Structure 1
Amino acid sequence: MRFSSVSALMALTVLEAIATPVTPPDLAPRATPTVYLCGDSTMAKNGANDGDTDGWGQYFGTYTTVSVVNKAIGGRSARSYWNEGRFADVANVVKSGDIVVIEFGHNDGGSPESNDNGRSDCPGTGTETCVSDATGETVYTFVFYVIQAAKLMTAKGATVVLSSQTPNNLWETGSFVSAPPRFVGYQLTAQKALGANVYFVDHYQAVSNMYKKLGNSATNALYPNDHTHTSPTGASLSAQAFTQAIHTNLNGTTSLGSYIVSNPPTVY
């Protein structure tokens, strides 16, 4: 089933989407959960598809005791992943007890009202809407799309982990500069709106802590072509930072905590 930008959203008002939680049905869970990853090229297999980079989702399974399915796709935002029906595709295979990690932000900037690229979300944290100057569609906020996606999963009995985007190269200028993009806070806003069965992991902060420890030269070596996409080594380290954040309860407990390997790596 595919969701268009209009039909997928007509069933719920924006206010209902922000304020109304979904109670998962009483479904028979799997014997062990499967973890599904939804994100962009920083998470996806082969990263930017340039032969030099990879996404951290390819390495997270090394540090878990359950199966991990990487559904991340390069170039996507929360909006375009929703509009293309990719969240719906994941929801169609999710079973009760599964875990879905959602991480976007790198492609969500810009304005849909000015040279809309089909990825930009409407600015804001709640009921704001915009009209695309390219298609005329109503565009919603990052928080709205994430909440809708999380509700699809929790309706199937899954739990959801909202992960903030990985940082760009924080040593790019030669000095360590960490300024979280607004989408980091937006993920936390979505988690607080949803409450039960939805968790938050500040992946941005975990990787930022790691980069500060690594230093200038070692961090720059992880970015072969640009300031966003890392080498396979960098992707593996980002997966380790995510794992450490979960294992040490950086942002509180999550549904992933019970499925991290014993003695995972410490990278920050």
Structure 2
Amino acid sequence: MKVARKKFLTLAVMLLLCVGTMAFMIQEKVTKIYLIGDSTMMDYDKYREDYLTSMYPLSGWGQFFQELFDAETVDALGALIQTDSVLVDNRAIGGRSTRSFFEEGRWAKVYQDLMPGDLVMIQFGHNDATLERPLRYVTPEAYKEFIRLYVNQSREKGAIPIVITPVSRNFPWKDGKLENAHGDYYTAAVEVSEELGVRMIDLTMSSMALFQTKGEEFSAKNYFMNLEPGQYPNYPEGKTDNTHFVTEGAKQVAKLVMEGMKELK
């Protein structure tokens, strides 16, 4: 009896060890979503250690993108995402254009990490037009070339590129209507997306529609970094900024991007 019991316990232990080893070896497949872009997309928590004390409520929409991927959403994105789990890897950084993001070697690091089935979401345009900053500036035609590069090299690795037109600023307003501040760069993003047959989220138009529906004053106070003196300890003199978002604005834009993803074919 004792011998049989000992053999049984030995077999049970071996079985548990085998199950544990198999569980360790079988890793859950995850789709990574790489975000490449500028300050309107970046994760300030990730890049600024002193964010909560020195920069809050400044936020990028990419900070809040991961939390939108619940099980129902992942299932709804079945045409794009072939796994049960999603991990957002936000590589966006403030002040970068399509050109400077590439020349600083930031794209090379993303390219190295890309795996088949990953997504690359590309949103530039805010800094590409800054003629007074030659390290950032690119013409609309050169802007197209860099987007082509990001799209084509993503495809080389078996990844899925998605072009995102630049999110709207809260200006210029004319006769109660918000106009497109990105001009030729918006057109360039649309044209190169059509040329390459790449998926595109028209965030310019969807964000313009949101801000216009809410109105100039509401959007300025609730979505953008327009702060009254003393409203936040880290901005004692206040701030006027109709390009960058406070937390609520970034969250609303993240939702627009998600809605755009769900509409992709």
TM-score, L = length of structure 1: 0.69
Mapped partners of 1:33, 1:178: distance in 2: 36
Q: Is 2:172–2:180's contact at 8 Å kept on the other side of the alignment? A: no
User: How is 1:51-66 mapped onto 2 (pairs within 5 angstroms)?
Assistant: 51-64=56-69, 65=74, 66=86
Q: Which residue of 2 aligns with 1:242?
A: 257
Deviation at 1:124, TM superposition (A): 4.1
Q: Is 1:63–1:243's contact at 8 Å kept on the other side of the alignment? A: yes
Mapped partners of 1:237, 1:116: distance in 2: 30
Partner of 1:220, secondary structure, is helix
Go from structure 1 to structure 2 and tell me whether the alpha carbon gap of 1:173 and 1:223 turns closer, same or farther (over 3 Å shift): farther
User: How is 1:93-172 mapped onto 2 (pairs within 5 angstroms)?
Assistant: 93-111=113-131, 116-121=133-138, 123-125=139-141, 141-170=142-171
Mapped partners of 2:215, 2:143: distance in 1: 32
Deviation at 1:211, TM superposition (A): 1.1
Mapped partners of 1:171, 1:152: distance in 2: 35
Counterpart AA for 1:186? A
Go from structure 1 to structure 2 and tell me whether the alpha carbon gap of 1:142 and 1:207 turns closer, same or farther (over 3 Å shift): same
Mapped partners of 1:124, 1:60: distance in 2: 28
Q: Which residue of 2 aligns with 1:186?
A: 188
Q: Which of 209, 221, 233 matches 2:248?
A: 233
Mapped partners of 2:143, 2:105: distance in 1: 16
Q: Which residue of 1 aligns with 2:79?
A: none
* Residue identity (%): 26
Deviation at 1:189, TM superposition (A): 1.9
Go from structure 1 to structure 2 and tell me whether the alpha carbon gap of 1:52 and 1:173 turns closer, same or farther (over 3 Å shift): farther
Q: Is 2:170–2:216's contact at 8 Å kept on the other side of the alignment? A: no
Aligned length: 200
Go from structure 1 to structure 2 and tell me whether the alpha carbon gap of 1:171 and 1:233 turns closer, same or farther (over 3 Å shift): farther
Q: Is 1:172–1:220's contact at 8 Å kept on the other side of the alignment? A: no
Go from structure 1 to structure 2 and tell me whether the alpha carbon gap of 1:170 and 1:245 turns closer, same or farther (over 3 Å shift): farther
Counterpart AA for 1:239? A
Partner of 2:178, secondary structure, is coil
Q: Is 1:103–1:165's contact at 8 Å kept on the other side of the alignment? A: yes
Q: Is 2:164–2:202's contact at 8 Å kept on the other side of the alignment? A: yes
Mapped partners of 2:157, 2:206: distance in 1: 30
Q: Is 1:170–1:208's contact at 8 Å kept on the other side of the alignment? A: no
TM-score, L = length of structure 2: 0.69
Mapped partners of 1:229, 1:179: distance in 2: 16
Larger helix fraction of residues:
2
Mapped partners of 1:244, 1:40: distance in 2: 21
Residues 118-168 of structure 1: CA deviation (Å, up to 9, x unaligned): 0000x243xxxxxxxxxxxxxxx0000111122221111001000011111
Q: Which residue of 1 aligns with 2:96?
A: 76
Q: Which residue of 2 aligns with 1:42?
A: 40
Partner of 1:161, secondary structure, is strand
Listed as ranges, the gaps of 5+ residues in structure 2 are 1-27, 75-85, 226-238
Go from structure 1 to structure 2 and tell me whether the alpha carbon gap of 1:51 and 1:153 turns closer, same or farther (over 3 Å shift): same
Mapped partners of 1:241, 1:228: distance in 2: 17
Query: RMSD of aligned C-alpha atoms?
Result: 2.2
Listed as ranges, the gaps of 5+ residues in structure 1 are 1-29, 126-140, 254-268
The structure number with the bigger radius of gyration is 2
